[in-house]
Copies of this chain bind each other. A is one copy, B any other.
Amino acid sequence: MTEDALVIFTPSGKRGRFALGTPVLQAARHLGVDLDSVCGGRGICSKCQITPGYGEFPKFGIHVDDEALSEWNSVEERYKSKRGMIDGRRLGCQAKVMGDVVIDVPPESQVHKQVIRKSATQRDIVMDPATRLLYIEVAEPDMHEPSGDFERVKQALAEQWQVGEVETDLHVLRRLQPVLRKGEWKITVALHRGNHDARDRILEIWPGYHEGGLYGLAIDLGSTTIAAHLCDLRDGAVLASSGLMNPQIRFGEDLMSRVSYAMMNPGGDVEMTRAVREAINALAASIAAEAKVASADIFEVVFVCNPVMHHLLLGIDPVELGQAPFSLALSGSLSLPARELDLSNLNRAAQVYVLPCIAGHVGADCAAVALSEEPGKSDDMVLIVDVGTNAEILLGNKERVLACSSPTGPAFEGAQISSGQRAAPGAIERVSIDPVTKEPRFRVIGSDLWSDDPGFADAIKTSGITGICGSGIIEAVAEMRMAGVLDASGLIGSADQVGTARCEPHGRTHSYLLHDASVDGGPVIRVTQGDIRAIQLAKSALYAGARLLMDELGIDHVDRVTLAGAFGAHISPKHAMVLGMIPDAPLEKVTSAGNAAGTGARIALCNRAARDAIEATVHDIVKIETAIEPRFQEHFVNANAIPHAVDQFPNLVGVVSLPDVSYNPATSGGDGGRRRRRG
């Protein structure tokens, strides 16, 4: 037998020769193999489990005999009997190399585990959170070489974990001496690694080996709702997801009205800051309770939000965001202690990371979408639209990515629509209109049945039919266009012109009767000419923004379209394209990314390197300000037609037929006074 042996790790394939007696964990570290350990090889944490392979390995040209590793020892036996361990597994810190061997590192023993996301179209998150638990053994004080206990903790971190300069808070220093003595000079620390050149920081300490929780919150702070995911920072699992209404709504429905509130009311920004921080505290408490997690075990919070929410969260008056040149007080990312934002239902040393903003109208939420969807890594030309009160639009491929924001207004969310409501049980969410009879059928949130299915009335008995939500109004307008109820200019025909009594006179225009109150005693639900105009304004703004970015890149079509946002998840691609919300593309290439901003927040929470990546990405993104681009207005006017006055939709033509009708209004209508508004 030679004095060293060949060790091959799978699945990495990394290999090297090591002196007999070398622990497997040590060999793994030497080769840079991704093998976890919290206790640093002391047989306490059991994170370094490995599976040795025996017998012939023709692929590697070696034979592994039964004595390739040292014998099963008492540390392993104790662990297995107390906690259980899969047969054939060994502890990497205990098993020593005694001959040529092949070692498999199972996925759960890897530090940088991949979290498999449910949707196959989305990429996985590699776990590498900013905060981790480290077990250390600290030198005892020596009167001949006096040094502070904290200095010896730093020394242990440097020697045992190769950690550089470390800081901590007074509250940790205050507890350090009793904790060290209670743990008999063995402690576990929660260490937060700063981004860029910022120092590492000890957030919390426990006596001995601590196998406690380590959690983080990914928060998507929207104008209307605040949504949070509570994630386990060890494996990326989402333990709970929860949301609540943004209480700032009482100061104004949309962003511009909140900026106005701050401008008109001295101290108004302070009121709104307090309201949103209180709501986040309430949300943190409720989500922790829901997941049965101690608030003190939440160490990280990541925020994504639009610029106005960003400023109000940080306590900065958003007034400059309400007027040209729309300057942000701060555009870069921000790392700071959660207590500076008055966030209390967390570990007292919890750290906040706020993603960078892209521009005055394109916020950290859009940056999060870019982090999740990675347009800058795309081979084909992708258009990403995050639909909300404002639409954030990204366009590009790995050559170049552009971004802008477009003031769609709240129509897509059911606001400013005669029977509009938020997406909630009772709201019509899907609509279909028979092109021959012009009769509608629909689905209501809370049931999978269509209105002409048997049992529909029973299924919706609790909620009733209360109104129409954003996706419902988009489908209704698109279906009206396909059924010939509506012409390309957006005019609803009269009963005579269309051939259905559902087209009723409505003031000086016509409306389409979607649901008659006589059926269930609920409200009458119509699509009015005003509703059509509101949707036209919103979709024109969205399309014009996308078109502006296409001009900038000199392209006239995109390869694929991604609809992001909770709302985007419910939009039917076909209907969106019939409406002309988005440019033409193969329908199967129009997909939903779900809450991509929330996913981006989770990625930044679970993977530290992603924070650097998004900062670089945001720096490289070309920002287009729609407000100062003269062509925006031209694109906006042309996009008013359904689907469009000029642009062709070849992919759509093969799938749907759009009747070539033209209606006169009952009168000339009254759209002259309506203007797009930001917010």
Q: How many of A's residues come within 8 Å of B, CB to CB?
A: 49
Query: Nearest CB to that of A358 among chain B residues?
Result: B146
In the assembled complex, the CB of A86 is this many whole angstroms from the nearest CB of chain B, namely 43
Query: Given the complex, which residues of B lie within 8 Å of A143, measured CB to CB?
Result: 324-326, 360, 625, 627-628
Contact between chains at B325 and A147 (CB < 8 Å): no
What is the bound-complex CA distance between A144 and B326, given in angstroms? Answer: 11
B165 touches A196 (CB 8 A): yes
Q: Is A278 at the interface (CB under 8 A from chain B)?
A: no
Q: A170-B315, A170-B336, A199-B197 are in contact. Are A147 and B177 (CB under 8 A)?
A: no
> Is A148's CB within 8 Å of the partner chain B?
yes
Main DSSP-derived SS at the A contact region: loop
Q: Which residue of B lies closest to A178 (CB)?
A: B317
The verdict on A646 contacting chain B, using a C-beta distance below 8 Å, is no
- Report the separation of the CA atoms of residues A316 and B172 in the bound assembly, to the nearest whole angstrom: 10
Q: Write out the residue numbers on chain B whose beta carbons fall within 8 Å of the beta carbon of A197.
A: 165, 197, 199
Residues in chain B near residue A332, CB distance under 8 A: 148, 150-151
Shortest Cβ distance from residue A96 to the other chain B in the assembled complex, whole angstroms: 36
Interface centre among A151, A328, A330 (most CB of B within 10 A): A330
| Contact flag A360-B146 (CB < 8 Å), given A177-B329, A329-B173, A336-B170 | yes
Task: Provide the residues of chain B in CB contact with A4, threshold 8 Å.
Answer: none
Does residue A320 face the partner (Cβ distance < 8 Å to B)?
yes
Give A625's nearest chain B residue, CB to CB: B143
Q: Of all chain B residues, which has the CB nearest A320?
A: B177
- Name the contact of A144 in the complex, choosing from B151, B358, B625 (C-beta under 8 A): B625
Question: Using Cβ atoms and an 8 Å threshold, which residues of chain B touch A623?
Answer: 144-146
A149 an interface residue at 8 Å Cβ cutoff? yes
A340 within 8 A of partner (CB): yes
Instruction: Identify A174's interface contact among B146, B173, B317, CB under 8 A.
Output: B317
Name the B residues within 8 Å of A147 (CB-CB): 328, 331
* A–B Cβ pairs within 8 angstroms, 17 of them: A141-B327, A143-B326, A146-B325, A146-B331, A146-B359, A146-B360, A146-B623, A146-B625, A148-B357, A170-B315, A170-B316, A173-B316, A174-B315, A177-B327, A177-B329, A197-B197, A197-B199
19 more contacts with CB within 8 A, not counting A140-B325, A146-B325, are: A141-B326, A143-B324, A143-B326, A143-B625, A146-B328, A146-B625, A148-B328, A148-B329, A148-B357, A149-B327, A149-B330, A150-B331, A165-B197, A170-B316, A173-B316, A173-B329, A174-B314, A177-B320, A177-B327
